[in-house]
Amino acid sequence: MTSNETLIEVKNLRKWFPVKRSIADVIKRRPRLWVRAVDGISFTIKKREIFGLVGESGSGKTTTGKLLIRLLDPDTGSIVFRENGNPVNLATLSPKELKPWRKKLQIIYQDPYGSLNPRMTVKELLMEPLRFLEPDLSEEERMERVVRALKRVRLTPVEEFIVKYPHQLSGGQRQRVAVARAIIVEPEFIVADEPVSMIDVSMRAGILHLLLRMRDELGLTILYITHDLSTAGYLTDRIAVMYLGKIMEIGPAEKVLTDPLHPYSQALISAVPVPDPTAKKERILLKGEIPSPIFIPRGCRFWPRCPKAFDRCRREEPKLKEVEPGRWVACHLYD
């Protein structure tokens, strides 16, 4: 289902946020500090691929997702979107030039309770993006799109759902409305940011299956952001593992999950519970917490927690390199 054609090519993408300074900092001329949320990352996403971005909270996943659809402006780097073979660097587009791209690039947020306006009915929630992004449609055409989108996300009978308010829906149904809002404008690329982490466990499989179906039926390309490796294994074609603003490993989902190469991926995967309680699995315990993205360790940023760190790791930052076809790792062990 995934095509071999590259849809998005990200190169050296960086986004730092300034830390607010106190009056004392200004008076004492203390240097400005920065949260290095995304610190120079490169990867590609293929057409119709579901690409997983995994890592602990604070690793820069959500910032990356927002940069890719220009909800945030990058400091440096490029985000080249290949539309019908024509490369367009989204990173350099002005707000005016971005306007026609808004409908092609959509996002589904983690929180289906906070992302839907509680005072709007399902019909109004779905009409809103159409009014904004496709103002030339007639009211009748909009209604047709609403009905089609609700049928696609299996919120039927449609007449029953369009009059409901978010509080009258379950968490899973609200997330289906969020998916319908994203697909109603016929996008090409969707960022799904932890879309199942806040809904009941019993409804998660349904939403993941819905995303898979949307990829297959609508030819969508999806960036799936998660800290949950089990759902990433179910849904994604390839996975990138992020740590403190950098990518540590990229590879086919099955390979990364069954045979992780980077010590950080190995530790993350060792912590995933296995369904068979008799199966032996050694858990790799990492030292300490993820460090602050303001004070990133020199050398390999993972070295203070890495069970395999050696001298060079403290001095030199490893580059992300291809160690076997399709598998990229940033670790000196593979030099």
In the bound complex, what is the minimum distance in angstroms from residue 307's beta carbon to ligand SF4? 8
Q: What is the DSSP letter of 58?
A: T
Q: Segment contacting ligand SF4 (CB under 6 A): 112-120, 126-134, 158-166, 296-304?
A: 296-304
Q: Can you tell me the distance from the alpha carbon of 26 to that of 293, in angstroms, rounded to the nearest whole number?
A: 22
- The residue (of 102 and 308) whose beta carbon lies closer to ligand SF4 is 308
H/E stretch holding 161 reads helix 158-161
In the bound complex, what is the minimum distance in angstroms from residue 43's beta carbon to ligand SF4? 18
How far from each other are the two terminal CA atoms of the chain, in whole angstroms? 34
- The residue (of 90 and 300) whose beta carbon lies closer to ligand SF4 is 300
Question: Is residue 318 within the footprint of ligand SF4 (CB under 6 A)?
Answer: yes
Q: Where are the beta strands (DSSP E) in the chain?
A: 6-18, 34-46, 50-54, 76-83, 86-89, 105-108, 189-193, 221-226, 238-243, 246-252, 321-324, 327-329
Question: Is residue 48 within the footprint of ligand SF4 (CB under 6 A)?
Answer: no
Question: Is residue 333 within the footprint of ligand SF4 (CB under 6 A)?
Answer: yes
- The residue (of 45 and 267) whose beta carbon lies closer to ligand SF4 is 267
Q: By CB under 6 A, what part of segment 260-279 binds ligand SF4? A: 263
Question: Is residue 182 within the footprint of ligand SF4 (CB under 6 A)?
Answer: no
Question: Is residue 328 within the footprint of ligand SF4 (CB under 6 A)?
Answer: no
Could you tell me which residues are beta bridge partners of residue 150? none
List 309, 320, 327, 328, residue binding ligand SF4 (CB under 6 A) = 309
Using only the alpha carbons of the chain, give its radius of gyration.
21
Contact between 250 and 238 (Cβ < 8 Å): yes
- The residue (of 209 and 298) whose beta carbon lies closer to ligand SF4 is 298
In the bound complex, what is the minimum distance in angstroms from residue 326's beta carbon to ligand SF4? 20
Question: Is residue 300 within the footprint of ligand SF4 (CB under 6 A)?
Answer: yes
Q: Measure Cα distances from 156 to 127, 146, 151, 152, 162 in Å.
A: 17, 12, 6, 9, 9
In the bound complex, what is the minimum distance in angstroms from residue 313's beta carbon to ligand SF4? 3
Question: Is residue 303 within the footprint of ligand SF4 (CB under 6 A)?
Answer: yes
Question: Is residue 302 within the footprint of ligand SF4 (CB under 6 A)?
Answer: yes
Residues with Cβ within 8 Å of 150's Cβ and at least 6 positions away in sequence, in order, are 122, 126, 156, 158, 161, 162, 180
Residue ranges binding ligand SF4 (CB under 6 A): 263, 300, 302-303, 306, 308-309, 313, 318, 331-333
